[in-house]
Structure 1
Amino acid sequence: MSKSLKIAIAVIVCLAVGYGAGMATQSSIETWYPTLIKPIFNPPNWLFAPVWTLLYVMMGVSAGLVWSKMEVVPLLVKKALWVFTIQLILNALWSFLFFGMCNPFLAFIEILLLWLMILETIKLFKPIDALASKLLIPYLLWVSFATLLNGSIWWLNR
């Protein structure tokens, strides 16, 4: 399988996970979420979809680049992609906890774990493909901001 095909498949998988997570937010975004007290730095709702779409594409390209090195360093790639998969599952789970269950506290605990798994993914990707590692930095930064936002929403609404 070519590098381009692996990247395309990984991008599609990441976008599908993002789409599924987005579906979990739909009902609460119009009912429960507007009732919450939010910090002054809360971005407008319209910003989240384009940012996440870009991040999912970058995540997919990153994973595809690492996957394309399977023949070169199979054990490192398998471990790195396993950790990537775990963080991707945690990424989707956050939407279900925060919006689906309307539970900012549980989502806050989970996003801390997600942040650590993203950091671990970056560390594991770096020796395999430096660009793949760098492509995940905006994701880590956005999840850092999301962690602060999530924690603030929980604190303001406890």
Structure 2
Amino acid sequence: MRHFPNAKGSLRGEGMWAPVLGLTALPHVGGFCGALITRREVKTWYPTLNKPSWRPPNAAFPVVWTALYTGMGYASYLVWKELGGFTEEALVPFGLYGLQLALNWAWTPIFFGAHKIKLALFEIVLLTGTVAATMVSWYPISRTATLLMAPYLSWLCLATSLNYRIWRDNPESKKD
């Protein structure tokens, strides 16, 4: 594992709760906003769609996303800490992380809000690739952070397959 010297001396010790909590909580901001859209649509529009039998139950999604957002947020803290904060070396790892976070937050309004299933499919494929690129950029910095992102990448593979099947099995939605 490559060691990144801390430009500020030490990020350990007093005052470290703010970065840990802030970076861990950050992904939940978009998740909470997305939940407001999903909550309405999961009772009205979503039940009208043809979905595969292997789809996880609706109740699983908030539990899984809470765990995934917490894991990715804490992983970002580990990278931040190892790099000594938002340094020049952090540009690519956090640029990719920020991009994947924005793509993650955008998927729900596209799929559930706008009912653009095909566009959501293209978007989630891009998201999944960006998460993989983020993990590759994080690996030399923190293997633990990279491993914390693995369940997220796995879930995105499932979600991408589900998005594809919903698009494929709902011909009227192919107009989008």
Range class of TM-score, shorter chain: over 0.9
Query: Taking structure 1 as reference, are residues 27 and 76 closer, same or farther at Cα in structure 2, changes over 3 Å only?
Result: same
Per the normalisation by structure 2, the TM-score is 0.85
Residue 116 to residue 58, structure 1, CA distance change in 2 (3 Å): same
Q: Which residue in 2 is equivalent to 1:39? A: 52
- Cα distance in 2, alignment partners of residues 154 and 125 from structure 1: 33
- The residue type equivalent to 1:12 in the other structure is A
Aligned-residue offset at 1:83: 0.8
Map 1:16-31 to 2 at 5 A: 16-31=29-44
C-alpha RMSD over aligned residues: 1.6
- Are the equivalent residues in 2 in contact too, given 1:66–1:125 (CA < 8 A)? yes
The structure 2 residue matched to 1:87, chosen from 79, 100, 124, is: 100
Q: Pick the structure with greater CA Rg.
A: 2
Matches within 5 A, 1:50-129: 50-71=63-84, 74-129=87-142
Residue 93 of structure 2 contacts residue 134 of structure 2 at CA under 8 Å; is this kept in 1? yes
1:8 matched residue in structure 2? 21
**Aligned length in residues:** 158
Q: Which has the higher helix share?
A: 1
- How far apart are residue 37 of structure 1 and its match? 0.4
Shift of 1:41: 0.6
- Secondary structure class of the residue paired with 1:128: coil
Report the CA distance shift for 1:47/1:129 in structure 2 as closer, same or farther (over 3 A).
same
Contact 2:80 2:86 in 1 (8 A): no
- Aligned mates of 1:5, 1:65 — CA distance in 2: 13
TM-score normalised to the size of structure 1? 0.94
Q: Which amino acid aligns with 1:46?
A: A
Instruction: Report the residue type matching 1:101 in the other structure.
Output: A
SS in 1 for 2:99: helix
Q: Is the 1:67–1:77 contact (alpha carbons within 8 Å) kept by the matching residues of 2?
A: yes
* Aligned with 1:139 (options 152, 164, 172): 152
What secondary structure does 1:30 align onto? coil
Structure 1 gap segments, 5+ residues each? none
Where in structure 2 are there 5+ consecutive unaligned residues? 1-10, 172-176
Instruction: Report % sequence identity.
Output: 34
Aligned-partner Cα distance in 1 for 2:111–2:134: 23
1:126 to 1:73, Cα distance in 2 relative to 1, 3 A: farther
Runs in 1 of length 4+ with deviation above 4 angstroms?
Answer: 1-4
For the structure 1 residues 72 and 5, does the alpha-carbon distance in structure 2 shift closer, same or farther, using more than 3 Å as the test? closer
